[in-house]
Chain A
Amino acid sequence: MTIGGASRVTEILAALQRGAPGAPDTDLPDRLVTMCVAAVPVTGAGIIVMANSGPGAMLASTDGPAAVMEELQFSFGEGPCVDASTSGRPVLQPRLQRTGPARWPAFADGALDCGVRAIFAFPLQVGGIRVGVLDLYRDVEGDLDPRELAESLAFADAATSVLLRLQARTGLRDTDPGLVDMVDRRAEVHQATGMVSVQTVLGLAEALVLLRAHAFAAERPLLDIARAVIMRTLRFHPVSDDHG
């Protein structure tokens, strides 16, 4: 159990940034899945982004089978990834051969053919903000133990933060807090996110990024900004398009 100190997510994000200084942000997803496979006992990993209708394109993967698997889920519209993103809960399948065929007949067939024996799919989300799925798989059966699960969840939160940053990059300019852990747990931050999304006529993801950027620019803690929004002493407005 880790209590206190820099969180594991913050460590992962810092390591990602240090790992390839000067590299473009678009490299981050690939570096993340590579780092993930080194940290957790799985054979491969992939990040899928969300489209409006459900899981969409694969953003990054460690090797061939990952790409094949995402293709299968996309084509058949079924699989652990699809379930994880629509239900908002992780889908942990340590024994795909036994449980897969009943649950996802078409997908399981193709996945087992590729040599996949276990899949662990983690939705990348902050409440109603759904950005994608982190898919981990291995070529042997077996559970992830509690420490490995905690580590996987840390990578999932890190991936969420990376994806939110990639989506928001164009709006940030000089109020850019860098790559930070976006998965907050404080009620007020999420209430403020909801309020700001209405005030600015933006989605929740954009509102969350805006709150962070504002806190960074104002050099105030995010919680202070969130409280000011809730108390209605701080108000946001629809963002104009002229960031030219």
Chain B
Amino acid sequence: MTRQQRISQVFVELADTLVAQFDVIDFLHTLADRCVELLQADAAGLMLADQRGHLRVVASSAESARVVEVFELQHEEGPCLDAFTTGQQVVNLHDDQMRDRWPAFSAAAMQMGFRSTHALPMRLRDNLIGALNLFARESTPLTADDVALGQAMADVATIGLLQERAGRETAVLVEQLQAALNSRIVLEQAKGVLAERSQISPEEAFVTLRTYARSHGLKLTVVAMMVLDNSLRPSELEAR
């Protein structure tokens, strides 16, 4: 399959998810994974602003705590914050530029082996809701086509967040964003509960939850809630 065919296939997959059993957190995770694949990145994260204007990670391709931390740092400084506050794409900066612009963030990113980082704003008309963040271990620049593709992915993520309702007013946005942010916390709590019950890591717990959700045609958030209210036991989750 050519890269072009794969790109088309990914967009069909994302469109299908928008229409079918839609779970916003699962959708954003899938989108982050596909960004890594299509844009030769090593990690991708989707950051949304809560109503206080702080950027929060809603989904990332890597669930490893240390990588997520580098995303989370950006509520103070970093390419995502810049993309979100200015609405501009922040791409193809060299090591030196990164260090000058965001000293603390660059140090953390370099420590994880990330030599380049890019951030694309998530916006719908006048609403800037967050940013898509990419990290790569190599410092190969993104081509103009890559940037356009990345922006398209960010735009799909934005649409995905707003797709349940026809309206685009602030009120709808608030309802959607608050629900998504809270769903993320539900997922984190469920990861902890399952990690303890099954004596596995939170990352492994995430994979178990997601696998179960998909093979049973359930929303990820629903499965997470079932773990929390004890209607789903670890033995059932791990059964094939």
Contact = CB atoms under 8 A, between A and B. Distances in A.
Contacts of B52: 2, 7-8, 150, 153-154
Interface string A51-91: 00000000000000000000000000000000000011111
Given A194-B196, A199-B196, A90 B65 contact: no
B173 to A, nearest CB: 9
B178 A126 contact: no
Given A92-B175, A204-B228, A3 B193 contact: no
B182 A1 contact: no
Contact of A198 (B72, B176, B193, B225): B193
Contacts of B75: 3
A44 interface: no
Interface in A128-177: 128-129, 143-146, 149-150, 153-154
A128 B228 contact: yes
A194 B193 contact: yes
A1 B53 contact: yes
B65 A230 contact: yes
Interface in B37-66: 49-54, 56-57, 65
Interface of B: 49-54, 56-57, 65, 68, 72, 75-76, 85, 169-171, 174-176, 178-179, 181-197, 202, 224-225, 228-229
A87 to B, nearest CB: 7
B196 A187 contact: no
Given A3-B53, A143-B169, A191 B195 contact: yes
A91 B183 CA distance: 16
B57 A127 contact: no
A132 B161 CA distance: 25
Contacts of B53: 1-3, 150
Of A187, A193, A204, most B-chain CB atoms within 10 Å: A187
A94 B167 CA distance: 14
Contacts of A8: 52
Contact of A188 (B56, B65, B183): B65
A154 B72 CA distance: 21
Nearest to B171: A92
A2 B85 CA distance: 11
A128 B184 CA distance: 10
B85 A1 contact: yes
Contacts of A1: 49, 53, 85
Contacts of B181: 185
A8 B184 CA distance: 22
Nearest to A9: B52
